[in-house]
Structure 1
């Protein structure tokens, strides 16, 4: 059982008194929804569709196997899954035995798995046999003796039969009877899930979230965006992150809706899928909606049923909001992190009015402030964004140093994001502390430059960083991906600055160096890995210096 959770007694009492927290667990909510929506489709992937009742029955049988191999309330069950409907069977099974859910990225290799699973002392591990050139079954066999706490492994034989003697989901479903609901022993203040941070700057940390944290967050989303049982989500984001898992699967479950999973996002095929499944909303990082809108602008395809798109990961440029509206889509920014997920949003009714000028207002019950060194600054002044509320994680597992750096003594989470706030409580995220370019003593937001370059001819993707400079400390360098494989004229400082000048963008935001790259490195949730671009520009500058000798 995971203990030593970072939640102050006075805040805990406050959240219960306000009704933000309750004695519900995710399993108890799931059981109620199964009773209410038994035969309704809960999840569809590229291969299969499962109703609420079907997921419940399969999960009950998998839970019986987990119980037999010794998984108990508070133990950690790790799973590494593609964007498949079986992810729901696994997570519900974990809930039914009171286990802590621990989903990991599908691209984790054996060393990643060993590190992550030993950190949280995983008791059971579930993965596919095979998917997209990866032999997960063999990888599982390679690690099983390197994780002392591990008692059992099962594989999902969806695309390929098992080659080893490991139990499979199909054999488990055929052998066991479902366990009865409500016997898990889990409490609403217990840790329900451990998520890994995106890892844009280093080794991922293990984020602890309770049943109350997750239920509050997803109820806030359902209410804030007016989602109902008639809504159908389109979800192409990875399921090991909050976007795919909590927003894509838990939120529809809370509203009684359906989630349509897409294993590999390709814009034109995604539009077809959205239309065929009558999807009404989606959530993803900016590149997803950018690609959808670009496809619509170049073809006669339209996402006819898609009315709402929530976008996180980076501030939204006004041009994207307006373009989406042109195609009948309300594009709303939503802001948060794995630790504080989500906590600010643009209400759909304010989408056009704010038009990308604001990242949002806090959900009811969540506090936000802007501070320098934890001291709140006046409205309109830039500082670090801090948040506190019933949604907030309860600490990093086994990482006291990270806890002290991230959390203030009075329970505020230091996001590391820079923003300002107005007297209406609206915040505007305008960069990361680590994404600020300090040029000659002036702070310049890399995100602000990237937002201004959206729509620049000749490039399909871009990201800006600070490059080392002896005189100014840093100069502005933008990496670009060409819109053609072999363009006659490569994008240049001249072409980019002419575009920015035509948009009346201040000269201080103009790139001073442009580098062509095959693709912008990003995390699976769409965040730019700027540290890799920083390494790349240093490498290229070193080659130039050596050539000049």
Structure 2
């Protein structure tokens, strides 16, 4: 049964996207249309490879048709939300195409999330179905899904993947192969995905994208990076994250490439996969670049097929780019900048080693403003907040009030990041206004953790800030003012008991008598971030 969702009546395209279709900046079809064409023209070519097998374009299309028919037989109709919390398995790509052809809205959820986050996200988007592994990495996802389903009346179906029984992915495929495929009319400008990202208030924000907006950024990046049909891309980033979803699941359909999926990151495995499949490039977190370069140097492997490594999601020191370039025969490592709301504002500098190390890339396909605190534009070279607007940006948030706060009067997205633009068309990110911690490329809301800690009766005040982390860029540090006798280990257990994902549990607690504040009473987190960075440096 169709569920009326908050965004069902939103104007399409959104006001800030007016004219993109008429100017030819948006594709006229969906990702499912591209999948059908690829199956007909290059059916035998391999589209996806994972740890247990591979899928050709023809097999991808056939399985997607069967899955779409199977889901329709279970009562799912155009407009319903279908969530998936899957590792980097090829079944995720099949589900993505099946949803697109059926007019279903897809909701990717990162596998590291647990009950608290899943319950909130599924409840907010009113998901009708959820696909999860039967079990993965010692976590019983089926049991976790059943626990949250008790609080979610809209969640009618929990389907397992690589499991068993009538509610398994394999059963849906088997059922659907003998049924007609649903063929609703799907608007390429309509909502195709709701993807949750951490908000500064502690409430995740549901980022809405259309078929057209995502195809735009994928096509532009493939062109800019020189990707050619038939080439392979390695995808270690989660396909439930905007980078992995776009460059892993959808890049083959837009650019005719092959995605080599990694279920979990391991530098030696990455070396082997790049060599075996002649991988041309990847988009991944900065620690992966460091570890891949180190492994390549240690083994004397120069990976001649690898042409680019796009990294971002956290601060990237220039030396990382310089040293990584030395490890490979032809690879250009570079920094990129973007977010779920504005995917890839910059696309790096593949052909400019000097700028690749010192900036976050060339601005492509976006109008960018650098503004001061009053919203006034600043000249090149001056630091201010980065605002961006373009054909690949989101439709808005699932919550219209959040959208209104995030966009300025001209439709520019307030990124919350600080930076400066240069005369070469490049952008350098210098800091952050938003109260977020970026740990290994994943956004973590400081406010969410603070709320959990403040629920403890022995906590009087708290401030959660980013601290340096050698591998992941940033870690989680909690400054706590106590009003009772409680130790750091107990506070960590309290956060864990709230049901949050493991990576949100503070790795370090600083027990203090008071927190520094401005004259208006606001906590000076800039002071705390500097203090913990200096303290950790002195401990080395």
Q: Shared topology, TM-score over 0.5?
A: yes
Secondary structure of residue in 2 paired with 1:167:
coil
Map of 2:210 onto structure 1: 210
Q: Residues 10 and 115 (structure 1 numbering): CA distance in 2 closer, same or farther, change over 3 Å? A: closer
Map of 2:380 onto structure 1: 379
Separation (CA, whole Å) in 1 of partners of 2:512 and 2:281: 42
Separation (CA, whole Å) in 1 of partners of 2:511 and 2:417: 25
Q: Residue 332 of structure 1: CA displacement?
A: 2.0
Q: Residues 415 and 481 (structure 1 numbering): CA distance in 2 closer, same or farther, change over 3 Å? A: closer
Map of 1:219 onto structure 2: 219
Map of 1:88 onto structure 2: 93
CA contact (8 A) 1:8 1:411 kept: no
For structure 1, the 5+ residue unaligned runs are 437-445, 451-473, 483-528, 543-549
Q: Residues 249 and 118 (structure 1 numbering): CA distance in 2 closer, same or farther, change over 3 Å? A: same
Separation (CA, whole Å) in 2 of partners of 1:338 and 1:81: 19
Map of 1:156 onto structure 2: 161
Map of 1:522 onto structure 2: none
Q: TM-score scaled to structure 1, two decimals?
A: 0.76
Q: Residue 197 of structure 1: CA displacement?
A: 0.9
Q: Residue 74 of structure 1: CA displacement?
A: 1.4
Separation (CA, whole Å) in 1 of partners of 2:46 and 2:179: 22
**1:55-76 C-alpha deviation (Å, 9 max, x unpaired):** 2111211111211122111111
Map of 1:536 onto structure 2: 509
CA contact (8 A) 2:70 2:179 kept: no
CA contact (8 A) 1:200 1:531 kept: no
Separation (CA, whole Å) in 2 of partners of 1:151 and 1:115: 16
CA contact (8 A) 1:66 1:97 kept: no
Map of 2:351 onto structure 1: 349
Q: Residue 184 of structure 1: CA displacement?
A: 3.0
**Of residues 84, 103, 115 in structure 1, which corresponds to 2:108?**
103
**Of residues 334, 337, 340 in structure 1, which corresponds to 2:336?**
334
Separation (CA, whole Å) in 2 of partners of 1:201 and 1:51: 43
**Of residues 97, 100, 124 in structure 1, which corresponds to 2:129?**
124
Map of 1:280 onto structure 2: 280
Q: Residues 348 and 181 (structure 1 numbering): CA distance in 2 closer, same or farther, change over 3 Å? A: farther
**1:247-277 C-alpha deviation (Å, 9 max, x unpaired):** 2221232111100011111112211121112
Q: Residue 384 of structure 1: CA displacement?
A: 0.2
Q: Residues 11 and 196 (structure 1 numbering): CA distance in 2 closer, same or farther, change over 3 Å? A: closer
Is the counterpart of residue 47 in structure 1 residue 20 in structure 2?
Answer: no
- Please, which moves more after superposition, 303-312 or 277-286? 303-312
Q: Residue 480 of structure 1: CA displacement?
A: 5.5
**1:432-454 C-alpha deviation (Å, 9 max, x unpaired):** 12579xxxxxxxxx99xx9xxxx
**1:467-502 C-alpha deviation (Å, 9 max, x unpaired):** xxxxxxx9x9964559xxxxxxxxxxxxxxxxxxxx
Secondary structure of residue in 2 paired with 1:363:
coil
Is the counterpart of residue 23 in structure 1 residue 28 in structure 2?
Answer: yes
For structure 2, the 5+ residue unaligned runs are 440-462, 472-502, 516-540
Secondary structure of residue in 1 paired with 2:357:
coil
Q: Residues 4 and 342 (structure 1 numbering): CA distance in 2 closer, same or farther, change over 3 Å? A: farther
Q: Residue 106 of structure 1: CA displacement?
A: 1.0
Count the aligned residue pairs: 453
Q: Residues 40 and 178 (structure 1 numbering): CA distance in 2 closer, same or farther, change over 3 Å? A: farther
Q: Residues 282 and 538 (structure 1 numbering): CA distance in 2 closer, same or farther, change over 3 Å? A: farther
Q: TM-score scaled to structure 2, two decimals?
A: 0.77
**1:108-145 C-alpha deviation (Å, 9 max, x unpaired):** 22332221111001111111111110111222222333
Is the counterpart of residue 324 in structure 1 residue 317 in structure 2?
Answer: no
Separation (CA, whole Å) in 1 of partners of 2:285 and 2:371: 26
Q: Matches of residues 133-212 of structure 1 in structure 2 within 5 Å?
A: 133-157=138-162, 161-162=163-164, 166-177=166-177, 183-198=183-198, 202-212=202-212
- Please, which moves more after superposition, 75-84 or 369-378? 369-378
Q: Residues 349 and 261 (structure 1 numbering): CA distance in 2 closer, same or farther, change over 3 Å? A: same
**1:324-372 C-alpha deviation (Å, 9 max, x unpaired):** 322221112211001000121224222x1414222122223x2011001
Q: Residue 388 of structure 1: CA displacement?
A: 0.4
